[in-house]
């Protein structure tokens, strides 16, 4: 089991609540307030989990500037009050930022008993294999 510091535990809670508020905000027809709270909690939680310096270095690497601008621009657009446009920008930026982690996530999910068998179905497997491929390094 991985040992976490107290700040990392707080960060996991903040990130979890952020994802919850983002999901709940989308369920409730893109509620601006819930999406804004979710965005703030997610970014704050990420900073607590990996630290401020590493968060800054992750987001502002030279080859990730396009992804960072889309993600943080989407957060800003949601805070301004255009939730649908902001969420679309955030999702695009999120996939650009974290696409290097998708092969790890797909490999992990394939080892889970029920989900792994679903992902290995013939018509789903082709899409999962395509999403799990990564040609960029993290």
Residues 97-108, mean pLDDT to the nearest whole number = 86
pLDDT of 122 above 80: yes
pLDDT of 132 above 90: no
| H-helix or E-strand spanning residue 14 | helix 6-27
Q: What is the reported pTM?
A: 0.80
Residues 37-47, mean pLDDT to the nearest whole number = 95
Q: What is the 3-state secondary structure (H, E, C) of 27-56?
A: HCCCCHHHHHHHHHHHHHHHHHHHCHHHHH
Task: Give the tens place of pLDDT for each residue, 63-90.
Answer: 999 999 999 999 999 999 999 999 999 9
State the Cα angle at 86 between 60 and 135, rounded to 5°.
45
Percent of the chain with pLDDT over 70: 96
CB-hemisphere CA count at 13 Å for 121? 6
Those residues whose C-beta lies under 8 Å from the C-beta of residue 60, and which sit 6 or more positions away, are 68
Average pLDDT score over the chain? 90
pLDDT of 110 above 70: yes
pLDDT of 126 above 70: yes
């Amino acid at each position: 089991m991985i040992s976490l510091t107290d700040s990392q535990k707080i960060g996991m809670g903040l990130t979890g609540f952020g994802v919850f508020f983002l999901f709940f905000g989308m369920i409730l027809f893109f509620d601006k307030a819930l999406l804004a709270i979710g965005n703030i909690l997610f970014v704050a939680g990420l900073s607590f989990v990996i630290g401020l310096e590493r968060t800054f270095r992750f987001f502002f690497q030279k080859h990730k500037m396009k992804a960072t601008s889309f993600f943080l621009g989407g957060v800003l657009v949601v805070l301004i009050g255009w939730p649908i446009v902001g969420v679309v920008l955030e999702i695009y930026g999120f996939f650009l930022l974290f696409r290097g982690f998708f092969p790890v996530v797909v490999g992990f999910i394939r080892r889970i008993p029920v989900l792994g068998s679903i992902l290995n179905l013939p018509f789903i497997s082709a899409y999962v294999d395509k999403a799990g491929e990564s040609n960029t390094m993290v």
